[in-house]
C-alpha cells in the first residue's frame, strides 16, 4: 500500500473513472437540456453514482475484476453485493452504542440485518479468494500458464497477496474485505464535497481543468506522470479533506509518558486530534474558510507561503494511518480529472453546505450538481 506499490493499480482506477464519465456523459446527452447541437447539461444528485463508482473501483483494484455496476443490467450477484454493502453501512451507526451480546441474544432485527449483510460481503470475498488461490496452485504445479488464467483473474491486491504467500487465507480474506467495505462511502462522500466546491468556485475550476488538460497531454498516456503534473488536482483533494474530513477525529494512546506543549500526558491516555476544527482554525490556516488548493503546493513552504507539514491528518498518520490511503488518493484524483476533462460543473446555490456526523461526515442534504458537457 506504499505509494510506489500502488502505482501498478493506476490503470484499473483510470479505467473505472473513464467508464464512469462515459456513462454520465451518455446520460447527460440523453436526458439533459440541449445547449446547442453538441452540448447538453443535466442537474442531478450524484451521490448514488459516486457510491457505485467507489465500489466498482475498489473491487477492480482489490480483486482484479469488475462488478459491472455501470451496466444497465448489472448481474444479480452484483446487485446482491451492493445491496449488502449499503445495508451494512446503513445499520452500522445505530448499532455502535449497543452491546453486541445483548443484540445477539434478543435477535434484534437490526442486528440480524447487519450480520446478514456482513455474511454476504465475506461470502463474496471468500469466493474470489478461493478462485484466485486455486489458480495460483495450478500455476505453481505447471498445470496452466498465466495466459490461460484469464486477464485480471490474478490481478489486484488479492493476486499480489496470494502470489507472495506471506499471509494466511484467513488474514487475506479479513484484510481484503475490510479494505473493500471501508473504502466505499469514505471515498464517495469526499468526491461529492469536492465536486460541490469546484462547482461553486468556477474560476478555480478552470485553473484546475487547464492544468489537468496540459498534464494529460504531456504525459502521453503515463497516468502517474499525468497526476504528478497536476498539483492543483491533489491540492483540491487535500483541501476537500481539510474542510470536510471523513472522520472528525484521530485518536491515539501513547505507549509512554509524553509532553505536548508543556502538558504532561501519561502513557495509555486517550489523546484526540479534532480534525474538523483544526482544518477550519485561523491559528492553523490563513483564511481557513476559503477553498484554496494552492495552499498545499509546498509542505516545506518558504517565506510568504503557508506551511502545511503535518496539518493534513485526514488519513491519520504513522503506522496506524488508513491502510487504503494511497488507493483512495489516486481514486479521487483520477475521477476528478476525468470529470473536469468532460464536464463544466455548476450549482444553483453557492451557500455553504450543512453537514452531519454519523459514522462519517456527510452533507445534511446532498447537493445537486449541474454537469454541462464540454
Neighbours of 295 (CB within 10 A): 22
- Grid cell locating 211: 492544468
Query: Which of 160, 166, 77, 87 is CA-nearest to residue 125?
Result: 77
For 124-136, the DSSP string reads HHHHHHHHHHHHH
Q: For residue 176, count other CB atoms closer than 10 A to its CB.
A: 24
Asked if residue 322 belongs to a known ligand binding site, the reply is yes
Instruction: Find out whether 169 and 125 touch, Cβ atoms under 8 Å.
Output: no
Alpha-carbon distance of 208 to 205, in angstroms, equals: 5
* Neighbour tally for 282: CB within 10 Å: 9
Q: How far apart are alpha carbons 349 and 320 in whole angstroms?
A: 39
- What grid cell was written down for 42? 443535466
Residues whose CB is less than 8 angstroms from the CB of residue 206 and which lie 6 or more positions away in sequence, other chains included: none
Q: Which residues of 190-215 are buried (b: 16+ CB within 10 A; e: fewer)?
A: bbbbbbbbbbbbeebbeebbebbeeb
DSSP string, 16-81: HHHHHHHHHHHHHHHHSEESSSS-EEEEE--HHHHHHHHHHHHHHHHHSS---TTSSS--HHHHHH
**Pairing status of strand 249-252 against strand 263-265:** unpaired
Strand partners, 273: 250
Q: How far is CA 227 from CA 15, 17, 221, 285, 300, in A?
A: 15, 14, 11, 25, 20
- Going by C-beta distance under 8 Å and a sequence separation of 6 or more, which residues neighbour residue 239? 197, 291, 292, 293, 295, 296
Binding residues for heme: 322
For the annotated binding site, the residues are: 322
Amino acid at each position: 500500500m506504499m505509494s510506489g506499490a500502488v502505482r501498478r493499480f493506476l490503470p484499473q482506477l483510470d479505467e473505472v473513472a473513464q467508464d464512469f464519465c462515459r456513462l454520465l456523459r451518455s446520460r447527460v446527452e440523453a436526458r439533459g437540456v440541449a445547449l446547442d447541437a453538441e452540448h447538453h447539461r443535466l442537474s442531478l444528485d450524484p451521490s448514488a453514482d459516486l457510491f457505485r463508482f467507489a465500489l466498482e473501483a475498489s473491487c477492480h483494484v482489490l480483486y482484479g475484476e469488475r462488478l459491472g455496476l455501470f451496466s444497465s443490467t448489472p448481474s444479480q450477484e452484483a446487485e446482491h453485493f451492493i445491496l449488502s454493502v449499503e445495508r451494512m453501512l446503513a445499520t452500522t451507526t445505530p448499532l455502535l452504542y449497543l452491546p453486541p451480546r445483548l443484540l445477539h441474544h434478543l435477535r434484534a432485527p437490526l442486528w440480524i440485518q447487519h450480520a446478514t449483510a456482513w455474511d454476504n460481503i465475506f461470502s463474496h470475498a471468500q469466493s474470489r479468494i478461493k478462485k484466485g488461490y486455486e489458480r495460483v496452485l495450478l500455476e505453481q504445479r505447471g498445470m496452466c500458464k498465466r495466459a490461460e488464467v484469464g486477464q485480471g483473474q490474478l490481478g489486484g491486491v488479492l493476486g499480489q497477496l496470494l502470489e507472495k504467500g506471506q499471509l494466511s487465507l484467513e488474514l487475506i480474506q479479513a484484510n481484503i474485505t475490510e479494505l473493500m467495505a471501508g473504502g466505499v462511502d469514505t471515498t464517495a462522500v469526499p468526491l461529492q464535497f469536492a465536486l460541490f466546491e469546484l462547482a461553486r468556485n468556477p474560476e478555480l475550476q478552470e485553473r484546475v481543468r487547464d492544468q489537468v488538460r496540459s498534464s494529460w497531454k504531456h504525459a502521453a498516456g503515463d497516468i502517474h506522470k499525468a497526476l504528478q503534473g497536476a498539483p492543483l488536482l491533489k491540492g483540491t483533494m487535500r483541501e476537500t479533506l481539510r474542510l470536510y474530513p471523513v472522520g472528525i477525529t484521530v485518536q491515539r494512546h501513547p505507549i509512554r509518558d509524553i509532553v505536548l506543549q508543556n502538558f504532561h500526558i501519561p502513557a495509555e491516555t486517550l489523546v484526540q486530534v479534532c480534525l474538523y476544527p483544526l482544518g477550519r482554525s485561523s491559528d492553523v490556516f490563513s483564511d481557513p474558510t476559503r477553498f484554496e488548493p494552492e495552499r498545499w503546493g509546498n509542505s516545506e513552504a518558504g517565506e510568504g507561503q503557508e506551511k502545511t507539514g503535518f496539518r493534513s491528518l485526514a488519513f491519520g498518520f504513522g503506522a496506524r494511518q488508513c491502510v487504503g490511503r494511497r488507493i483512495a488518493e489516486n481514486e479521487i484524483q483520477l475521477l476528478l480529472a476525468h470529470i473536469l476533462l468532460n464536464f463544466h460543473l455548476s450549482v444553483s446555490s453557492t451557500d455553504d453546505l450543512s453537514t452531519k456526523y454519523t459514522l462519517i461526515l456527510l452533507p445534511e442534504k446532498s447537493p445537486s450538481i449541474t454537469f454541462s458537457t464540454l
